[in-house]
Structure 1
């Protein structure tokens, strides 16, 4: 309860401050003439008499939005909150590693996910491991959120915080750092799920119908909602604006929509390797598609309409035949989850 109360107070402060910060961040994100700015450690401003933890003192970053044309990768971004033994356990390597992309301030969203589709014990007989991947908050709230996140992580042990500013344009870097963690600490995971925090996920359907634990190994497997024959938007007014300097071809290779896609562990390791040889772009799902193209791999179609990229009204039987629905808020997730968990013998068989 103490953690929830603190998160609510901090949420009110963040709401006020982010309004002003948003103007600055958006201005930087669309002004491609702005020179890039590295993330440099700050000199500590604490007085000698104050006690500061070593990680906090070492990784006080000058957090400014990097230029979208100049994302630095590979780059030694540190893991500030880490659980290197997360995948070690008596049941062996995880069948599914969930990498959930989340913002530092979204304490309540993470708690809703833990209580619903992020529960690691939802699928009997299958080892699932969950990590929330997050970056750094704006400098104004670094100290307040640092303490809150450490408290949350002590309680749940599932935060993977990376030393880069948590912005939309850094999402590709967050995903790549999640894969770096997998490569270093969980290389034997059978499958890796990259998923956003604003979704409804049906882990049972995903595991049993899409991934099929008793099926043969699939080293080149990746699936989700597959986009084909799409191309970059050249109008700066769009959120997904991509200038020719960033990506010159008129078409993207096939790729899986960013809200959620799953790939075999062996392919994830190969994607990470080839990512270090390509120019990184901030459209994370497209960039993974570029890595797949370089590897000569095409996405595998999932059962029809099981990955939904747009909002859907909840319906018990229909949702049991889906893997993922995008744009699902935490409050709605908590509201429908008890009904979704209820066994309904009147639903038609899949």
Structure 2
């Protein structure tokens, strides 16, 4: 059964990756390049939130590929407003997993591994996969797949903007909007990508500590200190001076995964409404922290890894997160990771 699932994940990811590559080329050729507008001149927001998803597929294109429409009334097209309502009370940890519409197999691998909501006994964990709209060329086919997937698992949160790398900030902010509206009493919120290994038990017990006091100003992960903006055009993380003119970014937690207190998540969301959003979501969260007069809290040393590390049973039990893990690898190592080892 596990071998069949691995094959399904591999074939599905490869096929959809080819489709996305073709569509990304098509999109790049039809997005004009313009100077971004200042916050005071953002695009009008009088469109009613009930617009069809088809209209949003085209209107969500911004005039500049690095310029984001935010604040903006993006609708929740697939939603679970009662996700946080449970007999166990408010969730201790809300997982907001950033994913793409076509990553059906990847989401299933995560559900069977670190995304399992029952991994930490006695602690209420809730998981949502946050995704945008697929490219119009594949919208109809993917919409049917997503509806079937959500009908079975009830854990998708689809928002009405195109799902692109440059819209990742919109994913994070609209995920926090959902939290503010439907899950405001969550103790902690984890933003996490799909290409990681995550150890929820270590995160909860050793970093967040359910029996300890709540920390209203808490955010942690792998911290970049005094980082310098990339000014090279064409680079994945290129930051034009007209979008961010300062010579250094504020300290921030790396995007593959960071966790913050629920109260701080709400304050970051409020601050974000008043500034032009940057397309580098982790940098923008760090910018919002600076406006609040805060800095990230250091995690236990070497527990959030942004570089790949070869799996080791004992070592991984003392880690929170390792970047650059693919679903096939997760499925392969997870049965061993779950076994106890008294020699560690």
Counterpart of 2:183 (choices 163, 182, 186) is 186
2: CA distance between counterparts of 1:324 and 1:35? 35
Partner residue in 1 for 2:97: 100
Partner residue in 2 for 1:176: 173
2: CA distance between counterparts of 1:12 and 1:319? 28
TM-score (norm 2): 0.90
**3-state secondary structure, aligned to 2:259:** strand
1: CA distance between counterparts of 2:251 and 2:233? 23
State the Cα distance separating 1:9 from its structure 2 match: 8.2
8 Å CA contact retained: 1:39, 1:62: no
8 Å CA contact retained: 1:101, 1:194: yes
Q: State how many pairs are aligned.
A: 330
**Which deviations, in whole Å up to 9, do the C-alpha atoms of 1:296-320 show, x marking residues without a partner?**
1110000000000011000000000
Partner residue in 2 for 1:33: 34
**Which deviations, in whole Å up to 9, do the C-alpha atoms of 1:137-165 show, x marking residues without a partner?**
00011111111000000000000000000
8 Å CA contact retained: 2:9, 2:328: no
Change (3 A) 1:292 1:228: same
8 Å CA contact retained: 1:191, 1:265: yes
8 Å CA contact retained: 2:91, 2:124: yes
Q: CA RMSD in A?
A: 2.6
8 Å CA contact retained: 1:28, 1:34: no
8 Å CA contact retained: 1:136, 1:163: yes
8 Å CA contact retained: 2:166, 2:279: yes
8 Å CA contact retained: 1:97, 1:192: yes
**3-state secondary structure, aligned to 1:62:** helix
**Which deviations, in whole Å up to 9, do the C-alpha atoms of 1:230-289 show, x marking residues without a partner?**
111111131000010010000000000000000000000000000000110100000000
8 Å CA contact retained: 1:84, 1:185: yes
Partner residue in 2 for 1:158: 155
8 Å CA contact retained: 2:23, 2:137: no
8 Å CA contact retained: 1:68, 1:282: no
State the Cα distance separating 1:59 from its structure 2 match: 1.8
8 Å CA contact retained: 2:70, 2:273: yes
Change (3 A) 1:152 1:98: same
Change (3 A) 1:87 1:81: same
Structure 2: stretches of 5+ with no match in the other structure: none
Partner residue in 1 for 2:196: 199
**3-state secondary structure, aligned to 1:226:** strand
Partner residue in 1 for 2:342: 345
Structure 1: stretches of 5+ with no match in the other structure: 41-54
8 Å CA contact retained: 1:233, 1:242: yes
**Which deviations, in whole Å up to 9, do the C-alpha atoms of 1:72-119 show, x marking residues without a partner?**
111000000000000001000000000000000000000000000000
8 Å CA contact retained: 2:36, 2:243: no
Higher alpha-carbon deviation: 310-319 or 64-73: 64-73
State the Cα distance separating 1:12 from its structure 2 match: 6.4
Counterpart of 1:218 (choices 212, 215, 218) is 215
Partner residue in 1 for 2:233: 236
Partner residue in 1 for 2:328: 331
2: CA distance between counterparts of 1:34 and 1:62? 22
2: CA distance between counterparts of 1:10 and 1:257? 28
TM-score (norm 1): 0.88
Change (3 A) 1:78 1:233: same
Partner residue in 1 for 2:82: 85
Higher alpha-carbon deviation: 102-111 or 18-27: 18-27
1: CA distance between counterparts of 2:36 and 2:224? 32
8 Å CA contact retained: 1:202, 1:324: yes
Counterpart of 2:294 (choices 267, 292, 297) is 297
2: CA distance between counterparts of 1:308 and 1:99? 19
Over 6 Å off, 4+ runs? 3-10, 34-40
1: CA distance between counterparts of 2:65 and 2:120? 39
2: CA distance between counterparts of 1:307 and 1:7? 26
Higher alpha-carbon deviation: 14-23 or 309-318: 14-23
Change (3 A) 1:14 1:317: closer
